[in-house]
Structure 1
Amino acid sequence: MSRRSRGFSLVELLIALALSLIVVLGVVQVFIAAKNTYLSQNAAANMQEDARFVLSKMIQEVRMVGMFGCLETITDSSQKGDFHASQLAPIRWDSGGRKLTLVTADVGVNGDKPDWTVLSDCRTHSTAYSEGRKPVAGQLAFPIRRLTYSYSNDQLLMKSGAAAPQVLVDNVSAFDVSFGLASTATDLAASRYSSNPPDAALIRSVRLSLTLFDPNHRVADQTFNVVAALRNRLP
């Protein structure tokens, strides 16, 4: 057999197979890295979307805290006589129990029955009643709801009235609230933050902090912070 008609030797085949294997392994590594990057980016995007949904909802409600209609003086005709007490403490943060309670004007018109309804002619009188109430001619109705946000078992929950708590978001590792406080009751801007304000009349804003984690450990924990200014002065 001539030298030109010979095939590949065993050594040449082994070298070719080794080089092919190296190329295949490189392609697989690139694919795995691209897949892991996609999964981690997708997990981070999901965490950001969950936080955006929850915090934007809470911001809307925080901004409406202390909004009890168009007149300052309101007659309490609620069944339990508890409306005035809610006016005096429209926002509370229990740092030990990780619970934020808001008494706020109802956002939207598709919610359940409110805790109270203030009926007012916006000129001479306002009256608070329990649950829903329809206005008569010349009156406006202001639905008022008590909302409680709580952190428990890696979940952020919301409770409205007597309804059972509903899960807003899972995979929560921390939930914290602090208040932007003015130096005096007449100051407009907040000068410091505290989780235990000495006087509700000093509160000018609320800072919400939410930390989410990925249960599959594809991305590091992410903490989201927002600040919502109060539109209404608290008593």
Structure 2
Amino acid sequence: MNTQKGMTLVELLVSLVIGTALLAGSLTVLTSNNASLRLNEALSSVQENGRFALSKLTQDVRLAGSYNPQAPELDVNGIEVTTEQAEVVDTAVGFVGAFLSNAFLGSKEGASGASDTLVIGMQGGADCTRDSHGYGTVVVAGQTVAREFHVVNEYYLDANQLKCKGYDGRVLRGVKSSSGSSNAVTLVENVDDFQILYGVAEPDALGAFTGQPSYYATADRATVAVNAGARVVAVQLSLLLFSEDTISKNGANRKMKLLDNKASVPAEARVYRTFEQTVMLRNAWNAAVFGASS
């Protein structure tokens, strides 16, 4: 007769230890995988938002100062197009004091390192919020298109949201009565900082421009330079975005720096990424060098 034996106490303890070790290893791998997944999702979200924000800003800024007085869709009712063209070019980047009916509107430096504000102008059928300000439509070459006018867009940060608000430049210049203002729209959320520098072109001794930036300056310095006869021909954009969720404290002491701002340590343990782009203002450059806009 075969005698069956159970596990000895030592064997049972060894089995428990091995099982516990395997379980702990599995939990460690699972936790690590979850952390990696959350990190990758956070990185992907931040990258997507950052690329969209920078693409939108770059696209709009490139149009700053554009104006075609011969465009059939341009609304010219009560408008002197030569004067308006000069106004649009001069306020391709509009600084504080540039607009008669809203003296406080304009590109400005944030106080004590706070986020900056960017204001640009161009000819268009709608502002950045898709508001046409009551100009309606017109038929051009058999196609119904939006009537175009002097568009002014303002970009700024509000409660970690990059927002845009549009204006009728003709109302701002005091040549047209207001038909109401558009509400601001949010372009991107989870934005920690928005900084801007302006490429200033100084004229030479003969008053001529090369069109290349002589230096990059804050809004305050650029305003002084423009009032003295310089031109803004480029804009440097910089955004700092963060993830929706906290990830870990790894790298929490890493310093972040945007353009001329002092380096600082983010307050929360999130994924932070900077996005920067320098945009040449072709229309402002043409106006400075050749005295024309397109």
Fold shared, TM-score > 0.5 on shorter chain: yes
Question: Which residue in the other structure is 1:159 paired with?
Answer: 165
Does structure 2 retain, via aligned residues, the 8 Å contact 1:132–1:143?
A: no
1:221 aligns with 2:272: yes
Asked if structure 1 preserves the Cα contact closer than 8 Å seen for 2:126 and 2:148, the reply is: no
Q: Which moved more, 1:204-213 or 1:176-185?
A: 176-185
SS at match of 2:66: coil
- Contact kept, 8 Å, 1:114 with 1:145, in 2: the verdict is no
Deviation at 1:232, TM superposition (A): 0.5
1:169 equivalent among 188, 192, 206: 188
TM-score by length of 2: 0.62
Helix, strand or coil at the partner of 1:232: helix
Out of 184-193 and 50-59, give the one that drifted further.
Answer: 184-193
Q: In angstroms, what is the RMSD of aligned CA positions?
A: 3.4
Does residue 230 of structure 1 match 2:281? yes
After TM superposition, what 4+ stretches of structure 1 lie above 6 angstroms from structure 2? 107-111
Computing the radius of gyration from Cα coordinates, the structure with the larger value is 1
| SS of alignment partner, residue 138 of structure 2 | coil
Secondary structure at 2:213 match in 1: coil
Shift of 1:35: 1.4
Match in the other structure for 1:103: 121
Mark the runs of 5 or more structure 2 residues left unpaired by the alignment.
71-75, 95-106, 168-180, 248-269, 289-294
Asked if the contact 1:102–1:146 (Cα under 8 Å) also holds between the matched residues in 2, the reply is: yes
Find the residue that maps to 2:282 and give its secondary structure. coil
**Counterpart Cα distance in 1 of 2:140 and 2:22:** 80
Alpha-carbon distance in structure 2 between the residues aligned to 1:68 and 1:165: 24
- CA positional deviation for 1:104: 2.1
Per-residue deviation at 1:65? 0.7
The match for 2:99 is none
- Between the two proteins, the alignment pairs up a number of residues equal to 213
Which sections of structure 1, spanning at least 5 residues, go unmatched? 116-129
CA pair 67-12 structure 1, distance change in 2 beyond 3 A: same
Once the two structures are superposed, the pairs formed by residues 79-98 of structure 1 within 5 Å of their partners are 83=84, 85-92=87-94, 93-96=107-110, 98=116
Q: 1:110 to 1:147 in 2, by over 3 A?
A: closer
| Residues 20 and 136 (structure 1), Cα distance of their counterparts in 2 relative to 1, 3 Å cut | closer
Percentage of identical aligned residues: 25
- Is the 2:88–2:150 contact (alpha carbons within 8 Å) kept by the matching residues of 1? no
Render the CA deviation track for 1:51-107: whole Å, top value 9, x for unaligned: 111211111111111111156xxx8835xxx95655532313211373211112338
For 1:158, what is the secondary structure of its paired residue?
strand
